[in-house]
Amino acid sequence: MGTLWFWIVALMLTVYAVLDGFDLGVGIVYLWVARSEAERRQAMRSIGPVWDGNEVWLLAAGGTLFFAFPLLYASAFSGFYLPLMMVLWLIILRGVSIELRSHSSDAVWRAFFDGLFCFASVLLAIFFGAALANVVRGVPIGPDGYFFLPLWTNFKTGSNPGILDWYTVLGGLISLTALSLHGAIYLALKTQGNLAARAQQVARWAWMAAALLTAAGVPATIVARPESLKNYTAHPIAFVIPLIGAACIGAIRVTMSRQSGLTCFLCSCGYLASVLIGAATGLFPALLPAVGGQGHDLTIERTISGAYGLHVGLIWWGLGIFLALLYTVIVYGSFRGKVAIEDSEYEHEH
């Protein structure tokens, strides 16, 4: 039962990364690919109806984590107190900038929210990457299951790490480049004209950076936490996950130059998913491993909620997610197609 909920939460976070990943990525590349006011509106329109729903996956995953693994939720959220609060502030600023820029036609007002949108998206991408790297590397968990991490110590991994060390900074940069790539591919797929062309260009650069950094990330992970390999060596079939990831990275480049936007975007989704699923595979059965002292890992067994609640949970969670997928299909279906530079669809209906 615990294993099932472990993978449910991992899957929800993966869906979050893939979906909110592209609108975060749009935010990262926004100022460079969308130059004119019309292009900026075009870029905003490409994520306008969906970004909020994408972000809900984070909330739903957080709620599910709380429900299934209360001790983990309590420990991780209080231990990562400062960076989490900053993530919250950035989420607030980003949401506000997307929605409020259109409320005034004043150029300064719009420029301000454009900058804020990009700033918050960049930092969020870095924070999320660093967060994942923190979980993979492990934290100094005490016997009571709690810890508190400072923002940085000496930038080394080991028994006294900070939120930021060389490994988590690398994680942040991988996330930044991977999401830029993801967002640029999305824009190239979803828009037309100059915006799409520039997005294509940016995607090429982002691809190079993301591929290089990801390649560095794999050995770095083994250095930062050698135990990550344990599940892989015990079940060599698991090596399929990083292989799929590598294949996706290659396929992104190939499809990018062949102008097959949807395939390229799906490969990018596959790449992000392989990183998250690969990390989860390395962690299992720990949700948050401990550094230094042994045996303080926050494992499934140690943090799992009561069996009755988890059984009932399967029913309502299944129903809820079925409905959520249904809404997602309806919304993406209603706003399918490319976003043109001047929205002329309203004219067509006359």
Partner 1 sequence: MDTLTLHRIHFAFTITYHYLFPQLTMGLALLIVVLKTLALRTADRKTAEHYDTGARFWGKIFGINFLLGVVTGIPMEFQFGTNWAEFSRRAGGVIGTPLAMEGVFSFFLESAFLGLFLFGERRLSRRAHWASAFLVFVGAWLSGFFIIVTNAFMQHPVGYKLLSNGTLEIASFRELLLNPWAWLEYSHNMCAAVVTASFFMAALGSLYLLQGRDVPHGRTFLRVGVIAGAIACVAQVFPTGDLHGKYLAQHQAVAIAAMEGLFRTEKGAGMILIGQPNYESGTIDNPLVVNKFLSFLIYGTTGAEVEGLDHFPREQWPSALPLLFYSYHIMVGLGTWFGALMAFAAFLLWRGKLYSSRWILWPILLSWPLPYIATTAGWMTAEIGRQPWLVYGLIRTSQGASSHVSASNTLFTLIGFLGLYSVLSLLWIVLVYNHVQAGPSVAVRDRQLIPVTV
Query: Could you say which residues in the range 301-330 bind partner 1, by CB under 8 A?
Result: 305-306, 308-309, 312-313, 316-317, 320-321, 323-324, 327-328, 330
Which residues in the 44-83 window bind partner 1 by CB under 8 A? 44-45, 48-50, 52-53, 55-56, 59-60, 62-64, 66-68, 70-71, 73-79, 81-82
Beta strands in 226-341 (DSSP E): 286-288, 298-299
Is position 152 an interface residue for partner 1 (rule: CB under 8 A)?
A: no
Distance of CA 74 to the CA centre of its chain: 22
> Does 100 participate in binding partner 1 (rule CB under 8 A)?
yes
Residues 193-222 touching partner 1, rule: CB under 8 A, are: none
> Among residues 7, 11, 32, 99, which is the contact residue for partner 1, using CB under 8 A?
99
Q: How many residues bind partner 1 (CB under 8 A)?
A: 71
Q: Report the C-alpha gap between 125 and 118 in whole angstroms.
A: 11
Task: Please state the closest distance from residue 41 (CB atom) to partner 1, in A.
Answer: 6
- Told to check if 7 binds partner 1 by CB under 8 A, we report no
DSSP state of 58: H
The token pair that represents 257 in the structure block: 């130059």
What is each CA distance from 106 to 37, 101, 102, 112, 326, in whole angstroms?
Answer: 11, 9, 9, 10, 38
**What's at 119, amino acid-wise?**
F
Q: Which residue, 76 or 273, has its beta carbon nearer to partner 1? A: 76
- The answer to whether 23 touches 54, Cβ cutoff 8 Å, is yes
- Find the shortest distance in angstroms from Cβ 128 to partner 1: 14
Residues 6 or more apart whose CB falls under 8 angstroms from that of 273 comprise 14, 17, 18
| Choice between 48 and 244, CB closer to partner 1 | 48
Residue type, 56: V
111 belongs to the binding site for partner 1 (CB under 8 A): no
Query: Cα–Cα distance between 61 and 166 in angstroms, integer?
Result: 28
| Cβ-based nearer residue to partner 1, 219 or 347 | 347
Nearer residue to partner 1 within complex by CB, 48 or 162? 48
31 binds partner 1 (CB under 8 A): no
42 or 180, CB closer to partner 1? 42
Q: Which of 10, 19, 31, 101 binds partner 1 (CB under 8 A)?
A: 101
What is the CB-side half-sphere exposure of residue 158 using CA atoms within 13 A?
8
Q: Which two tokens stand for residue 212?
A: 């290089």
Is 104 a residue that touches partner 1 (CB under 8 A)?
yes
Q: Closer to partner 1 at the Cβ: 247 or 310?
A: 310
Cis peptide before 285 (omega within 30 of 0): yes
